[in-house]
A and B are shown apart, each in its own frame.
Chain A
Amino acid sequence: MNLKLKVWRQKNAKAKGGFEIYNISNISPDTSFLEMLDILNEQLINEGKEPVAFDHDCREGICGMCSLFINGRAHGPDDDVTTCQLHMRKFKDGETVTIEPWRSAAFPVIKDLVVEREAFEKIQQAGGYVSVNTGGVPDGNAIAIPKEDADEAMDAAACIGCGACVATCKNSSAMLFVAAKVSQFAKLPQGKPEAARRAKAMVAKMDELGFGGCTNTGACEAECPKGISISHIARLNREYLVAKLKD
């Protein structure tokens, strides 16, 4: 396959940045998208140019490190996969592929396609945990949890924190991320004691960090590589409203 790549290049967080066009040839359709970028970088290094910086780690879709806004979609044209699991067979020979970093006030670009996603950690630190301050590891079956509740909590816990929801949302809203992190505990007895505090603290932190508000377009759910449902956002709204009413 031969492709024309339109890649966002930016020296550092303060630099202006702009698109560069690169031509790349002889790419196998079985190459993964990130491998294709590796090949591009090798080509650039051989030409004595600066390689394109992009985030990646496990390359098997579980770490949440890779990002990229490809041809107008977070994680590219394939559904329910991260960029590292996207393959070049999803593109046409001779196609122009536009590659941009996540765009959000809360996710500033550090270099080229790499953005700072520390905002998600800050939201997590505000309350996305269960405090276990004393005692040993509890017995696995000591607390009985209905299968449906466990399943729903697990569906929310599938969130890898990649930020595709923020990147794709027209408002740069982090509601799906926060909803997943609140929802994974909301259905479990272990999460109940801190439920009100968690919802309030995480939403307050999300607002403070400059994410937009949710307008229920459902774009986040469609682009989430883990297919997390916006029903979790309804639960977050409920948890938050109940917590605020109790104040």
Chain B
Amino acid sequence: MSKFITSSIGKKVVMSLSGLFLMTFLMVHLTVNCFLFAGAEAFNTAAHFMVTNPIIKVVEPILALGFVVHIAWSIWITIQNMMARPVRYNKTNQGKNSSFASRNMFVLGGLVLTFLALHIANFYVKIKFTHEIGAVSYAGVEMHDTYTLVTSLFTIWWYDVIYVIGAILLGYHLSHGFWSAFQTIGFSNQIWRKRLTVIGYIFALVIAGGFAIIPTYFYFVQ
């Protein structure tokens, strides 16, 4: 396995595996978020379960590492790829041969990261560090009132706009990332490529749509 990590394919495999790992996180995240539609008790209980679950405690630092690796490797790869063409073309017509998302993964990823920073400041920091969150108690179990924290944020219209844009950017990123991750680890051929592309688009649509509907719903319902 020597030199694997520094080889061009090895670096891409790191991007692929960390990307797939982050995608599974997105699925879990959206699933928990769906409890918002079931009301305060359901969502707070689900959030409480996630916070107190020992498995989550183990996975949380791994998740953070997944983000760090995915971001660090993307910077490394992008710099090397830019160095591979020191003199640019005067005229290019890339719209004819590739998709917008596939050419702009680094930019889309950067924008998603910017959104992620705001998102962490909105929720994670308030829950974990500044404790700007109320408490509720169901059947004698005291827990954070995450439901109120989320839904009160979504009454502010410009937060909703930012969250919807964040979801759309993420969707674009995934529309290429999903299929690309499988291609990189070699899990693709003429037939599976078509299947994975379609599954990738559906996945991107479900994730982006799911995360976009939540702020929209709570803005109009409340």
Contacts and interface: CB of A to CB of B under 8 A. Distances in A.
B130 interface: no
B4 A244 contact: yes
A204 interface: yes
A103 B12 contact: no
A213 B81 contact: yes
B88 interface: yes
Interface stretch (B46-54, B180-188, B209-217): B180-188
B5 to A, nearest CB: 10
Interface string A27-48: 0000000000000000000000
Given A203-B7, A212-B80, A216-B176, A222 B85 contact: no
Interface in A210-247: 210-219, 222-223, 229-231, 233-241, 244-245, 247
B183 A73 contact: no
A94 B12 CA distance: 45
Contacts of A229: 190
Interface stretch (B31-39, B55-63, B95-103, B145-153): B95-103
A245 B11 CA distance: 15
B38 to A, nearest CB: 39
A170 B2 CA distance: 28
A71 interface: yes
B94 interface: yes
Contact of B85 (A172, A203, A207): A172
B190 A217 contact: no
A245 B4 CA distance: 9
A168 interface: yes
A84 B110 CA distance: 41
A219 B93 contact: no
A194 B127 CA distance: 57
Given A217-B99, A218-B98, A241 B176 contact: no
Nearest to B177: A216
A238 B8 contact: no
Given A71-B93, A222-B97, A203 B83 contact: no
A188 B97 CA distance: 31
B84 interface: yes
A130 interface: no
A104 B84 contact: yes
A4 to B, nearest CB: 13
A159 interface: no
A19 interface: yes
Contacts of A235: 186, 189
How many chain B residues sit at the interface, stated as a range, is 35 or more
Interface residues of A, number: 51
Contact of B1 (A71, A106, A234, A247): A247
Nearest to A107: B85
Interface in B98-128: 98-99, 102-103, 105
Given A213-B12, A237-B186, A240-B9, A105 B83 contact: yes
A150 B141 CA distance: 67
A233 B189 CA distance: 9
Given A19-B90, A219-B98, A173 B9 contact: no
Contacts of B163: none
A168 B9 CA distance: 19
A5 B87 CA distance: 20
A49 B127 CA distance: 74
B94 A172 contact: no
B188 A100 contact: no
A104 B105 CA distance: 21
Contacts of A239: 186
A72 B90 CA distance: 8
Contact of B187 (A104, A171, A222, A234): A234
Nearest to B101: A217
Given A98-B90, A215-B105, A216-B183, A210 B9 contact: no
A223 B189 CA distance: 19
Contacts of B77: 213, 215
Interface string B123-140: 000000000000000000
B55 to A, nearest CB: 28
A177 interface: no
B169 to A, nearest CB: 18
A240 B186 CA distance: 9
